[in-house]
A and B are shown apart, each in its own frame.
Chain A
Amino acid sequence: MSGRLPGSLNAFIAEPVPATITGNRAQHLPMSAPVAAAPNGSIRGAIALEGISRVFGGGVIAVDQINLTIQPGEFFTLLGPSGCGKTTLLRMIAGFETPDAGRILISGREMQNVPAHLRAVNTVFQSYALFPHLSVAENIEFGLRMRRIARPERKLRVDRIMALLQIDAFARRNPAQLSGGQRQRVALARALVNEPDVVLLDEPLSALDAKLRAELQVELMRMQKRLGMTFVFVTHDQHEALVMSDRIAVMERGRLLQVGPVLDVYEQPRSVFVAEFLGQSNIWKFATHAGNVAQTPIGNLVVGAPIGTQRTAMIRPEKIWLYPEAEAPGDRPNLFPGTVREAIYQGASTHYHVELADGAMILALDTNNQAAERSWGPGEKLVLELKPGNIMLIDG
């Protein structure tokens, strides 16, 4: 069980998504004609933020001295709760807001004082912001028209992107006549058709229902990989961030708490906030330790690495091993007998809220591949094993 979730995620991101994953829709996708691709080694599509700050009226610091580098062709996600400054940061890259301090480099050029219409950046808005007086095709054509690109080329590019996103069937329709999912695709097409260096997406999936959202997550990811454009994605949905991103940045109160590949941030959160915001976790503070044994509220915990200055231990629920009382291995460290207080069946897995001997609660997750042979109801006893290698140490 240990490590399976992150492992499978990794494969999901690194390899092309097989057509079967999203059902028959994928098989109709034309697999040729990339709209744009940054040549290897080029800085086209690279973003560098240097000491970016933004203070709103009333002294509210929305973005606080952020330094960040985003690689060309990367799917980069800004993750954080509402009000953490992620949207403000995105709007500064787009040119809708001007930073009060710092530099923004897009494709190697300084951009913080360049107005939005002169930046090779396009945005997909949370509200889609489709022009109500224009048809779907005219909406998509808008950016090319403003740049005075010749009509034949405009038509060619609009047709190509509509085919790619499978919206050519309603090219003549008005945005008001489209469903949420269709509008989302039109908004994406309207950005992609310009072949920008960077595509900015501000919670573009939040207005859609769960099934459609899952479908579009995969589609968006595949589109980004095929076109090779840099995507900067803003979301407060940790699941979305895990599924789609190459790297993520977790933000809180205008600051970046942690930046890194999805797997690293999930497996090795550097703060309690990150551990709790991204996935679920059991967290204990400890004041004292002896060697690599932390003296926590639930008892002595043997951890895998030597303890330095860290004073917090964390383990993910899915990394806890569960045994029936009789089968518990007696000769290993970190075995905790307990009683199930709540068992929440979630289809593929079950969440157990287990009360330990001293009354402390711990959350453990068991996949249901063995449900027939092994499951516990409320009041039943079991033994939990917190393997030392699965316990992470966090500063603070």
Chain B
Amino acid sequence: MSSRLAPPIRRALLLSSMPVYLLLYAPLALIAIFSFAPAPGGQAASLHWYGALWHEPDVLAALRRSVMLALGSSIFGTGLGTLMGFGLSRFRSRARSGFAAAIPSLIIYTPIIMPSLVFGIADLIFFNLLHKATGLFAAGLLTMGIAHVTFQAPYVALVVFARMSGLDPNLFEASHDLYANGWQSFFHLTVPVIRPAIIGGFLLAFTLSIDDFTISYFTAGPGSTTLPIYIYSAVARKGVAPDINALATLMIATVIGTGLLQYLFTRQKERRPMPRAGD
């Protein structure tokens, strides 16, 4: 499409996009640069503040909780989201027009569009009531996990749904035609075919959970401080310290790494047709 634009216009567009990218990535780069600050009394760039992190038990505990929370919630979020995406794609194939056809997108997009502040406060009130009524669901990792699953599942569903919609509907009929019952078709056709989407969805869910602050903050309890919450309270307490820069840089690296992994997995299975000569 860009090739149709005249070269001067293309150059102007490229130029005007530069400040946008600068504003997006310069702060991240700045934090990364500051994280290599010299050790106290030193002059040269160093890894001192990364090392210092390992000697802070609060940081390590928060890291452990974050990873546990992210892994646990991602497993449930992916499972639920996969079934959601699968079910919604099946639903869509039956209702082709009218309001009923819009329901799948509505169900998927509403939790995604909803501001996390609204979600967080709603969860806070909900779990509070639940705790008062049942004595269970005390604010802590469990309530945080449940809250995380609720925002992860729609994202996973979206990825799975997109994959399902791109498939030839005859594939599923073909599996039944070849003697597969519903379960066999699901496990021998659906799951392998959407596996890249499931893995991609899992990684997406993981990144969403590991850096979530707003919803975590409202659903956390005593002793369930995760890394983003720790960073927030540390910054509030003592301002931006060099060790926080190191911690933030590690988080950025994790999220970018997981994102890349997810990209690779969703692309991997898309093999291009390569017709052979002679037939």
Contact residues in B for A182 (Cβ distance below 8 Å):
276, 279
A131–B274 alpha-carbon span in the complex (Å): 16
In the complex, A146→B184 CA distance in Å? 7
- The dominant DSSP class at the A interface is mixed
Known: A129-B170, A129-B173, A132-B193. A143 touches B273 (CB 8 A): no
Min C-beta distance of A86 to chain B, whole Å = 16
| Interface members, chain A 131-186 (any B CB < 8 Å) | 131-133, 142-143, 145-147, 174, 176-182
Q: How many residues of A contact B (CB 8 A)?
A: 33
Complex CA gap A122/B177 in Å reads: 6
Q: In the complex, which residues of chain A have a beta carbon less than 8 angstroms from the beta carbon of B192?
A: 133
Report how far A143 CA is from B175 CA in the complex, Å.
8
Are B170 and A125 touching (Cβ within 8 A)?
yes
How far apart are the CA atoms of A50 and B193 in the complex, in Å? 39
Do A190 and B178 touch (CB < 8 A)?
yes
A178 near B276: Cβ-Cβ < 8 Å:
yes
| Chain B 148-191 interface 0/1 with A at a Cβ cutoff of 8 Å (1 = within) | 00000000000000000000101101111111110010001100
* Contact status of A179 and B272, CB under 8 A, knowing A116-B173, A143-B178: no
Q: How far is the CB of A328 from chain B (nearest CB, A)?
A: 52
A80 within 8 A of B: no
Q: Select which of A142, A174, A212 is within 8 A of B175 by beta carbon.
A: A142
Number of interface residues of B (CB under 8 A): 26
Tell me the nearest residue of chain B to A119, going by C-beta: B177
A94 engages B177 (CB within 8 Å): yes
- Known A129-B168, A146-B188; judge A177-B178 contact (CB<8 A): no
Residues on A with C-beta less than 8 A from B276 are 177-179, 182
- Is residue A85 within 8 Å, beta carbon to beta carbon, of the partner chain? no
**B275 CB contacts on chain A under 8 angstroms:** 178-180
Residues of B within 8 A of A194 (CB): 178-179
- Do B273 and A131 touch across chains, with their CB atoms under 8 A apart? no
User: When chains A and B are docked, how far (Å) is the Cα of A125 from the Cα of B171?
Assistant: 9
Smallest Cβ distance from A219 to chain B, in angstroms?
12
Structural contact, A116 and B176, CB atoms closer than 8 A: yes
Report how far A115 CA is from B68 CA in the complex, Å.
45
Q: Does A121 contact B (CB under 8 A)?
A: yes
Q: Cα distance A180–B192 when bound, in Å?
A: 24
A125-B170, A179-B276 given; A131·B177 CB < 8 A = no
* B178: chain A residues within 8 A (beta carbon): 117, 122, 142-143, 146, 190, 194
**By the criterion CB–CB under 8 Å, are A176 and B272 in contact?**
yes
Tell me if B11 counts as interface (CB < 8 A to partner A): no
A residues engaging B (CB < 8 A)?
A: 94-96, 115-118, 121-123, 125-127, 129, 131-133, 142-143, 145-147, 174, 176-182, 190, 194, 212
Besides A96-B173, A176-B271, 5 new A-B residue pairs in contact (Cβ under 8 A), listed by A number: A116-B177, A121-B177, A146-B175, A177-B273, A177-B274
**What 4 pairs across the A-B complex have the smallest Cβ distances?**
A143-B178, A129-B170, A129-B174, A146-B179
